[in-house]
Amino acid sequence: MRLYSKTRQHVDTEKTQKDGGASPSVHAGSHLAPRKSLLDKSRRRRWLRTGAPVGFILPIAVILFWQFASVAGWIDQNLLPAPTTVAATTVGLIRDGTLGSDLLASGLRWIVGFLIGGTLGLLVGSLVGLSRIAERVLDTSVQMLRTIPFLALAPLLVLWLGLDEPPKITLIALASFFPLYLNTFAGIRNVDRKLIEIGQIYRLSQPEMLMRVILPAALPEILTGVRYALAVAWLALVLAELLGAQQGLGYLLSEGREFVRVDIVLCSILIFAIVGKLVDVLVRGLEVSLLRWRDTYKG
C-alpha cells in the first residue's frame, strides 16, 4: 500500500510538471470557458430568433421622431397629423364601431379570397410540378396571366361580375394563386433526387412517395409561398375594396381621401401594416413548428 501511494504521488507530480504546474481546477476552468462562450452565443441567437423585439426599434424611433417634429412645428399638421392625433382618431373609430365592422368585412374578403386562390395555386402547382405533360399544357398560360396587372383586370371583373362581392373576392383569389403556384412548382421540382432514389429503394408507392418524401421536402418553399400569397392578397384587398365597396378598410381609406381626412387615411394605413405583420408572425410561427426537423429552425 505504501509503495502504491508513493508511486501514485510520483505520477501525479510528473503530470503536474508536464502541464506547467497548473492545478486540475485551472484546467477545468480553461475547458469550461469556451463552452460558456458557446452557450452565450447560442442564447443570444435564440433570443434574436424567438421573441426579441429588435425589429420594432426602427418603427418606434420613426414614430417618436414624427411626434417630436409635429410638436416642434417642422411638419404641417394638415398634411401629416401627429401620431397622437392619429391615435385619437383610431380610438374614436373603435368606439363608434366603424373600425371593427370595416376590419371584419375586409378580413372575411381576404380569408375567402386567399382560401380559394391559395388552394387552386397549391393544386395546380403540385400537378404541374409532378407532371411534365401538365407543365407543357398549363405553365405557359399561367405565366402569361401572371404578367397581367391587377389594375387591367379590375374593370373587366366589374363588367363581368358587377359591383358586389364576386369581383373583389376574385381579384384577391388571383393575387393569392400565383405565389403559391410558383413556390409549389419550384419546391417540388427542387426536391433532391437522392431522396427520390431512397424512396424507390424502399419500394414506396406513388401516394407514399408524394406524402412521405416529396411534400415534406417541398414544404419549406410552399410555406414561403403561403407567406408571400397572404401579403400580396392583403395588398390586392385595397384595390378590390375600391371597386364600389360600402364597407372595409379600403372603403375607409377612400372615405378619408374624399373628405380630406389625412388622419383617417393614416389610421387605415397603420391598420393594414399592423394586421399584415401579425398574420406574418402567425404564419412564421406555423412554419417554425412544421419545420422543426430542419437544422435552420432548431433553437
Q: What is the pLDDT of residues 42-51, one digit of tens each?
A: 555 555 555 5
pTM recorded for the entire structure: 0.74
Judged against a pLDDT cut of 90, whether residue 119 lies above it is answered with yes
Q: Which domains does the chain have, with CATH numbers?
A: 104-243 (1.10.3720.10)
Query: How does DSSP assign 241-278, residue by residue?
Result: HTTT-SSSHHHHHHHHHHTT-HHHHHHHHHHHHHHHHH
Question: For 63-85, what is each residue's pLDDT tens digit?
Answer: 899 889 888 888 888 888 889 99
pLDDT at position 3, please?
Answer: 37
- Give the cell for residue 287: 412554419
- Place 198 in a pLDDT band, splitting at 50, 70 and 90: confident
Judged against a pLDDT cut of 70, whether residue 221 lies above it is answered with yes
